[in-house]
Amino acid sequence: MKHSKNIKRRAVAIYLFMILLALVIIIQPLYTQIFESHLYNTENYNVTRTVTVPASRGNIYSDDLSLLATSIPEYEIRWDAKQVDKELFLDEVEELSAKLSALFDDKPASDYSDYLRKVWAKQSRYALIKRKVNYNQLKLLKQFPIFSEGRYKGGFQYKQLNKRQKPFQQLAGRTIGYHKKQSKSVGIEGAFNYDLKGKNGERLEHRLAGNEWMPIRERESFPGKDVITTIDIRFQDIAHQALEDRLYFHDADFGATILMEVATGEIKSIVNLKKVDEDKYVEFYNFAIGRSIEPGSTFKLASVIAGLEDGFLQLDDSVNTTGGKHSFYDRVMRDSKKGGYGVISLEESFTKSSNVGISKLINKHYKAKPSQFVDRLYSMGINEPLGIALSGEVKPAIRHPKQSSNWSGTTLPWMSIGYGIKMTPLQILSFYAAIANDGQRMKPLFVKSIMANGITEKNFNPEVLNPSICSMTTIKKVKQMLENVVENGTAKSIKSKQYKIAGKTGTAQLIIDGVYDNQRHLASFVGYFPADNPKYACIVMINDPQENGSYGGDVAAPVFRTISDYVMNTDFSLQPTDTIEKRQIPVSKDGYKRHLANVFNTFDVPISSDDDRAQWVLTKSQKEQVKLQTRNITRDLEKNKMPNIKGMGLNDVLFLLENYGLNISYSGRGSVKEQSINKGENIRKGQNLTIVLS
């Protein structure tokens, strides 16, 4: 009987056990699926993975090889404790800790020692030592105790990341642009991304505890090619400053200016500034390329050319400005001068920028045949986009009476003075540059060449858009009028005694809430210089000036004059021959030897060097040559000592010291005059440096 009861108990126990086991089998998958599914995805299931190693983007240079955009490497330092022999670790861990503390100056050596000992005790395979390490620090780390044994004996590992920087900061910032995977790339970075991006590599990584991934082996990436732009950084700097000063003076909304070589189409400077708060203008949207505007009086040039080419107009044709206003059907056209100009010639109408004069003459001859007027405009190509390499160009909007449903009797007279049409500043400039170039219209050029490893792979040559926008007879006549605008007309305030300027002012009313506001304007000036032998064309556009005037001659033209004065004084090709022959050996900023040598060689300035291997040099102008003396800047930085940077240009200083890790603030322009940290003083990453330029 007793034996039978034991059998029953065992049977019940087994039965209960089987029920419990069944419940576990059922519940465990459910629990795993609900609460631990993330642990069994593909990434965590695999113990290895292949990741992309981004290639370093190529550099973007100005025309004299000054850096406009570059990829500065940053490194993440890791340590594989399992690779390090115990005796080596115990012998050198304290010295390594002291050196890490001194290099990064972020915590005591004892903290580093405690951390390294814990990592070694756990035999961690991929312990983080430091993020955002620069190249100079990396070179020092490779020489530290334990780390100097390399990857397989010292456990030293690092991963390179690339950070895009613009040494000149805002200068041409919007034209240089940016490249982003998540959004549309813009500017030169976007247009030439295929060349700049390089070829990515691959890294095989092994998963460790804690979901850390340790590199096993790597297929090398190949850096991108370099892009050489047409930008002259000297002209870019002065144009930026001149426009910014004028925007502040007039409390304007935004502005743009472009400087272009008339014979080649090369863009030498391009500035786009927008007010973002009461005291700051920044490179914002590329207004010069992507913003369509009503050109106002600057379009009168195209209207006059059309009338001259069709044989309807002559410069001495007279027109009555009828007290400064004239009615076209139900709309009244007005001149800026109350009472008008009386009876004046076509040339005077242009010089004085009489809206009534120009519109009455155009309407008189084309009223019955407006298609002929617009067809003549189209024949000059100003209705077509320029087809530039950079994205974002807006097509000109010039209505045709046969293709427009909203053409009326007032469309023609208002079109003749630049209303009811849209063009970008670059398109307007290109048209004026064609006049300066005797009718040949060139495609704007932003990039000169593509280089790989210092060797030119591709050149971009000047391209003709229209070999002749009109006859030479008409070209000569309108050149005369454009010069007269500056000599005696609306831009006489920028007349120069040293050289001649030709151009046209523009003052267009802005549309506010759907109607033209006669108190809000877009002021502009576009022209070329020197007028007797044009080399450069320039446009300045300032939107919605609130103070100190609103007309193109008062607001925009002074910016043009500041730019043209600087260019005339610095472009050797524009200097009289006798002046060049008498020129002494030039004075130069100190800087990077290869770049300086390129400039001196370009202008046939003799140079000598005390060390052919030198990277950074002092320049000493002597009677017959410039002497280049070695400057040990790199050596000082490797020793964490402040170098002497006096005499250097700002871009070189930013490139060197921001890469090292200093936080730099500066004031003034030119070369370095003062530095807040003296030569030879100890420096550390994150330290502040103030420099004064003169």
Lowest mean pLDDT among 58-67, 88-97, 155-164, 401-410: 155-164
Instruction: Check residue 580 and give its pLDDT.
Output: 46
- 486 with 612, same domain: the answer is no
In whole angstroms, how large is the CA radius of gyration of the chain? 35
- 257 with 337, same domain: the answer is yes
Q: CA 537 from chain center: how many Å?
A: 21
User: Tokens for 103?
Assistant: 């290099």
- Mean pLDDT on 144-156: 91
In which domain, by residue range, is 305 found? 233-573
Report cis status (omega within 30 of 0) of the bond before 29: no
CATH number assigned to the domain comprising residue 115 = 3.90.1310.10
Q: Which of 229, 256, 285 is the last residue of a domain?
A: 229
Please give the helix or strand (H or E) that residue 475 lies within, else none. Answer: helix 472-488
Give residue 170's pLDDT band: very low, low, confident or very high (50, 70, 90).
confident
Question: What are the tens digits of pLDDT across the range 484-537?
Answer: 999 999 999 999 999 999 999 999 999 988 888 889 999 999 999 999 999 999
- Mean pLDDT on 638-655: 84
**Separation in Å, CA 173 to CA 137, 246, 251:** 29, 19, 22
Burial label for 667, CB within 10 Å (0-12, 13-18, 19+), is: exposed
Instruction: Check residue 213 and give its pLDDT.
Output: 66
CATH number assigned to the domain comprising residue 391 = 3.40.710.10
User: Tokens for 564?
Assistant: 């043209």
Instruction: Check residue 346 and give its pLDDT.
Output: 97
Listed residue (534, 542, 476) closest to 505, CA to CA: 542
SS (H, E, C) 332-374: EEECCCCCCCCEEEHHHHHHCCCHHHHHHHHHHHHCCCHHHHH
Give me the residue label for tokens 């084309």: 366
- Mean pLDDT on 544-554: 93
Q: CA–CA separation, 430 vs 265, rounded Å?
A: 8
Residue 73 lies inside a defined structural domain of this protein:
yes
Lowest mean pLDDT among 318-327, 341-350, 445-454, 670-679: 670-679
Question: What are the tens digits of pLDDT across the range 576-598?
Answer: 765 545 556 777 777 777 777 77
What pTM does this model have?
A: 0.73
pLDDT at 688 over 90: no
Mean model confidence pLDDT for the chain: 87
Instruction: Check residue 211 and give its pLDDT.
Output: 59
Give the percent of the chain with pLDDT over 90: 53
Instruction: Check residue 42 and give its pLDDT.
Output: 47
Instruction: Check residue 240 and give its pLDDT.
Output: 94
Listed residue (391, 456, 449) closest to 186, CA to CA: 391
Q: CA 451 from chain center: how many Å?
A: 19
Residue 524 lies inside a defined structural domain of this protein:
yes
Backbone angles phi, psi at 123, to 5 degrees: 55, 45
The DSSP bridge partners found for residue 512 are 515
Residue 108 lies inside a defined structural domain of this protein:
yes
Burial label for 119, CB within 10 Å (0-12, 13-18, 19+), is: buried
Burial label for 450, CB within 10 Å (0-12, 13-18, 19+), is: buried
- 538 with 450, same domain: the answer is yes
Q: What string of DSSP letters covers 262-315?
A: TTT-BEEEEEEEEEEETTEEEE-S-HHHH--B--GGGGHHHHHHHHHHTTS--T
pLDDT at 443 over 50: yes
pLDDT at 397 over 60: yes
Residue 194 lies inside a defined structural domain of this protein:
yes
- 543 with 502, same domain: the answer is yes
Residue 462 lies inside a defined structural domain of this protein:
yes
Residues 6+ apart with CB under 8 A from 318: 343, 344, 345, 346
Give residue 49's pLDDT band: very low, low, confident or very high (50, 70, 90).
confident
Question: What are the tens digits of pLDDT across the range 197-210?
Answer: 888 777 777 776 65
